[in-house]
Structure 1
Amino acid sequence: MKLTETFLPGSNVIATDYIAEKKNISAFFDYTYQDSTSYEDRYNELMERDYDRTSLTAHLKTFNVKYDANERAMKNIERLNQSDAVTVVAGQQAGVLTGPLYTINKALSVIKLAEEKEEALGVPVIPIFWVAGEDHDYHEVNHIFTYDKNREKKEAVPQKQFTKQALSDIALDKEKLNGWTKEMLQHFGETSYTKDLQEWLEDVTDKSDTFVDHFCFMMAELFSKHGLVLVDSGNTEFRELQVDAFKKMIDNNEAINEAVIKQADQLKEQGYPIGVELDERQANLFAQVKGERILLERNGDGFEGKAIAATFTRDDLLNIAHHHPEELSNNVVTRPIMQDVMFPVLAFVAGPGELAYWALLKPAFRIFDFKMPVIVPRLTFTFVERHIQKHLTDLSLSMEEVLRSGISPFKDNYVSDLDDVGIGGTFKEAKVKVENIHQELLNLTKIVDSGLERYAEKNGRFLQRQLDLLQNKLYSSIEYKHENDLSKFDEIGLSLKPNGAPQERKWNAVYFLNWHGPDFVDRLMELDFTFNEKHKVVIL
């Protein structure tokens, strides 16, 4: 593997300005991630706070042992029990087969940042991956994308889910998942690694009862040897540690929401978009109602379900928090606060979208007498396979330009250059001439029989379509003669920027494990990454 860096424009204005340290966005955060003193100040703040490390680490041990975590991860859990230990956290939903590549990129980022800050501060810094098992959006995590004959296809696990259950509670249909996984490997192509990979994935499925189990077994195998510790926000035992935090969120519910809405107004005044849906009535908590996860809204002094008929007094919710905390869960506003209550969070590793909603949360943290952790933009990657690199060379294309603009403008220019006989210009002139001639016929039709005017107009459009059809046929004939080069353009585009999207949002890690071996992640971990504003390009 070979690492290079390039600058790519940000995917949203908040992330772009945050990375550039613009004052108008920096004011919405407590720390500047590029400044080393931010981590020292945050560490000192955390040392003034109390954490139930004994109960937390006991839970983490039980949870991570379940997923066959490596000794290094278990050692990190023991180290977290030290009073001077802190954490670096990233999180993601439990996507099937680990979901999009950015899940892998997040895990790699949080491990690398923890290592960097442990060396800088001289204290234990533990990488934590927060699995969003409380999330109920099954249709966001039940699929991957494959690419066949230069077409993108969304491939969903053929298991139906009609209720809003938390992912931690959705039972796997193991037979369907195994059959689907085998199909995905067939899409990826047979390699010397495929058989062992399929056996491993079948073993993971056999050991898993839920989608979260499946995700955690895979992530533990890939990353626990590098010290990554997993936690599931939807785990019942973990919720039992959150009783006091839930109570405080219920007691301060209106104040939290008002603080976030006020912050959103200030962001708007600075010209920034608001990336989450806000409402004056929202409670920023979910409750389990009739087996489904339902968002709560305030209604006077009480609460009600937004999408299903259910009402609660404040005392009702406090009673649930005390006796059945597993029936409550957080939304995008309260989840970061819960995370900060449970863990001594030195830094949170955020993607561009996460950065946008963290910009709303500073005053909400103040209600808990906390500052926000240091928010560090995660590392972004593009993995370039050797045959793709060769295609770029063959076509004299700049990888950086393709990553910025996608492949379409370069392919269009290539096709245009192939037209050395002037097809485009000739047909453009012909269409104008035909239109002028037909206008005379249209005028004649109006004189002879105005009732045929629409028919004549339709006739004109038909003639233009026939010219388009012939033009496209001629282009297709030229393209057929250059099919080899044009297929290279398509392969480059689908690999590096599929349908114009970043590779990490579309491709899945199992493709790379299948083609580049089970040690793919281990070899990535050996590279020396710097947390800067640059995009990482890894030549495989």
Structure 2
Amino acid sequence: MESLHIPYKDTGYFSNIMLDYLAQKENLRPFYNRFPSIENFEAQIEEKSQFYSSTTRKVLVNAIEKQYQKLEISAETQQNIDNLVLPTTFTITTGHQLNLFSGPLYFLYKIVSVINLCKELKAAYPKHNFVPIYWMASEDHDFEEIQYFNFKSTKISWKREASGAVGRLDTSGLSDVYQEFSSLLNSGTYANELRSIFKNAYLEQNNLAEASRYLVNALFSKYGLVVVDGDDSQLKTLFKPYALQELEEQVSFKNVTETNVNIEKEGYKIQVNPREINLFYIGDGFRERIVKQESGYKVLNTNLVFKTAEDLFKNSDKLEFVSGNALLRPLYQEVILPNLCYVGGGGELAYWMQLKTTFKSFKVPFPVLLLRNSALLVSPKQQKKTDKLGLELKDFFLSQNDLIKKKVNELSTINFDFKAKRKQLEATFKELEILSSKTDKSFIGAVKAQEAKQLKGLDRLEKRLLKAEKKKMYELVTRIEILQNELFPHQSLEERHKNFSDYYEEYGGNLIDSLLVALKPLAMEFTVIKL
């Protein structure tokens, strides 16, 4: 197995805010705590140590052990759970929705990133323990986003009506999904392993949270990964003081609103807009916003009304009904975990950057933010096709038009790169503009109009010549298009569309072992992996 690395800025698939973050541009400095370098974790460990208590550790371990009580786990995962009670143990966390059968391929990259970062930190800080955590987004209620996965270009969907927190959904109807998925798999050993994993996860468990925990445990338990479900009454007890403060003072609304203004001033897009109160109330089959009224608090679309914030908590010792939205879920996570770093995608980290002042107001340490590993998997067959076309894998990151233009130019006797001609034309019209300004300035507009017309004509000519030459090389162009569409489905990163089973069917657990070797979380480069 070989791999090559490409700077994220050269891929064309990452946002400006992430590229500027990786470049450590000064204008982003107010929106994060410490940059993810190995030496910066020393101060992060010290800061988290001062905040995180032994009492919280005990509650965390008790809750995790209860969540795992029906599941067979590895010695590595059990050791990591046991270590969480120690003051020298810290976590590295990633989170994800409970997508059916893990959803997009990058789900694996997230988890591999946290496992590998824990290894690097252990080597750098041997007196401490570092536990990789997968945080299940079991309280989300957007069922449409998670009810399907893609396999062999087929969209496999869980067809049912659903409402409320997705982790609490029972698994009825998933036997039909299993039959469809099974019929698409081949008869090999790894395919049968996938059948078994799917069946045990989704047909033998009671709800989607349990199914997701089983799946992730089956894939990653031997690497010591610990799965945490935040929809837990013990854990939410730890969050009660922060929920009360949010209800009474609208802390996140005030802070995020101000931060959003500053982020927009720097020219970046806002990911999430705050509400006055950023908490939900979860009930039987519903998850609704809590809003403030003159008479107290109301749960939207229900008859639930409370005079004070404390009244929300009076009638129950259990707090399963409290749920933060996208802006408060990170705070909840950092309150209950001895966490140092959150590993996420570009969109996730962008909304974490909206939260630094919110964390400061709640007096909770803000974690290191690390962009997860991103990768392209290339089969031997695809590599062979690339070589035959006389292209390099990095060429396929070009737009399809630019890629074909590059290859056609390379083989054609005609040069289709009109950049030099444009520069000549622009220089000529610049001279005419100067001449016009010395004679009659009213001519300048006419000169500019003529320049625009000539440049547009040059563009049309270039496109017509390229189109004619592409017709001569129809077979070559078609082969390039087909291969690029394989590597980048829908002209997007493969990791956003394919499911891990596309590769697991052929490579089995060796797929994950290969990712663990190839992906370097702190290198912060895009990885192309030749399988």
TM interval, short-chain normalised: 0.7 to 0.9
CA distance in 2, matches of 1:132, 1:358: 16
Runs of 4+ aligned structure 1 residues displaced above 6 Å come to 412-420
- Check whether the contact 1:267–1:274 (CA below 8 A) recurs between aligned residues: yes
SS of structure 2 residue aligned to 1:526: helix
CA distance in 1, matches of 2:149, 2:412: 38
1:93-131 deviation per Cα after TM superposition (whole angstroms, max 9, x unaligned):
111111111111110001111111122122011111101
Deviation at 1:527, TM superposition (A): 3.8
Please point out which of 206, 216, 232 is paired with 1:209: 206
Closer/same/farther in 2, CA of residues 354 and 239 from structure 1, 3 Å limit? same
Verify: 1:536 aligned to 2:530, yes or no.
Answer: no
Closer/same/farther in 2, CA of residues 398 and 292 from structure 1, 3 Å limit? same
* More moved, 57-66 vs 346-355: 57-66
- Check whether the contact 2:156–2:181 (CA below 8 A) recurs between aligned residues: no
1:261-312 deviation per Cα after TM superposition (whole angstroms, max 9, x unaligned):
1111111122221111334x3x111112563111233334633345667544
1:376-404 deviation per Cα after TM superposition (whole angstroms, max 9, x unaligned):
1111111111111111111122211212x
Counterpart mapping for 1:113-152 below 5 A: 113-122=117-126, 123-148=128-153
Q: Please name the residue that 1:520 is paired with.
A: 511
Q: Please name the residue that 2:428 is paired with.
A: none
CA distance in 2, matches of 1:411, 1:240: 59
1:78-100 deviation per Cα after TM superposition (whole angstroms, max 9, x unaligned):
11111121111110011111111
* More moved, 210-219 vs 18-27: 210-219
CA distance in 2, matches of 1:322, 1:376: 38
SS of structure 1 residue aligned to 2:523: coil
SS of structure 2 residue aligned to 1:196: helix
Please point out which of 375, 385, 388 is paired with 2:379: 385
Q: Please name the residue that 2:453 is paired with.
A: none
Counterpart mapping for 1:273-292 below 5 A: 273-279=269-275, 281=276, 283-289=277-283, 291-292=285-286
1:311-365 deviation per Cα after TM superposition (whole angstroms, max 9, x unaligned):
4433365326953411121111111111111011111112100111111111111
Q: Please name the residue that 2:84 is paired with.
A: 80
CA distance in 2, matches of 1:534, 1:274: 24
What is the CA RMSD across the aligned residues, in angstroms?
A: 3.0
* More moved, 116-125 vs 19-28: 116-125
- Check whether the contact 1:250–1:318 (CA below 8 A) recurs between aligned residues: no
Deviation at 1:242, TM superposition (A): 3.7
Across the two proteins, how many residue pairs are aligned to each other? 473
Q: Which amino acid aligns with 1:340?
A: E
SS of structure 1 residue aligned to 2:278: strand
SS of structure 2 residue aligned to 1:195: helix
Residue segments in structure 1 that go unaligned for 5+ positions in a row: 421-470
CA distance in 1, matches of 2:272, 2:315: 26
* More moved, 224-233 vs 405-414: 405-414
Please point out which of 343, 349, 353 is paired with 1:359: 353
CA distance in 1, matches of 2:164, 2:26: 41
- Check whether the contact 1:294–1:305 (CA below 8 A) recurs between aligned residues: yes
Q: Please name the residue that 2:403 is paired with.
A: 410
Deviation at 1:418, TM superposition (A): 11
Q: Please name the residue that 1:55 is paired with.
A: 59
Q: Please name the residue that 1:220 is paired with.
A: 217
- Check whether the contact 1:26–1:32 (CA below 8 A) recurs between aligned residues: no
Q: Please name the residue that 2:47 is paired with.
A: 45
Q: Which amino acid aligns with 1:14?
A: I
Counterpart mapping for 1:233-248 below 5 A: 233-248=230-245
Q: Please name the residue that 1:460 is paired with.
A: none
Counterpart mapping for 1:313-328 below 5 A: 313-315=307-309, 318-319=312-313, 323-328=317-322
- Check whether the contact 2:113–2:521 (CA below 8 A) recurs between aligned residues: no
1:128-187 deviation per Cα after TM superposition (whole angstroms, max 9, x unaligned):
110100111111111123455xxxx5x14242124234333343323223123224x34x
SS of structure 2 residue aligned to 1:88: strand
Closer/same/farther in 2, CA of residues 164 and 156 from structure 1, 3 Å limit? farther
Q: Which amino acid aligns with 2:244?
A: K
Q: Please name the residue that 1:194 is paired with.
A: 191
CA distance in 2, matches of 1:42, 1:289: 37
Closer/same/farther in 2, CA of residues 306 and 24 from structure 1, 3 Å limit? farther
- Check whether the contact 2:143–2:162 (CA below 8 A) recurs between aligned residues: no
Q: Please name the residue that 1:173 is paired with.
A: 173
- Check whether the contact 1:101–1:508 (CA below 8 A) recurs between aligned residues: yes
- Check whether the contact 1:88–1:347 (CA below 8 A) recurs between aligned residues: yes
Closer/same/farther in 2, CA of residues 169 and 486 from structure 1, 3 Å limit? same
TM-score (norm 2): 0.81
Please point out which of 105, 112, 115 is paired with 2:109: 105
CA distance in 2, matches of 1:350, 1:158: 26
Residue segments in structure 2 that go unaligned for 5+ positions in a row: 414-463
Once the two structures are aligned, what percentage of the paired residues are identical? 23
Deviation at 1:223, TM superposition (A): 1.0
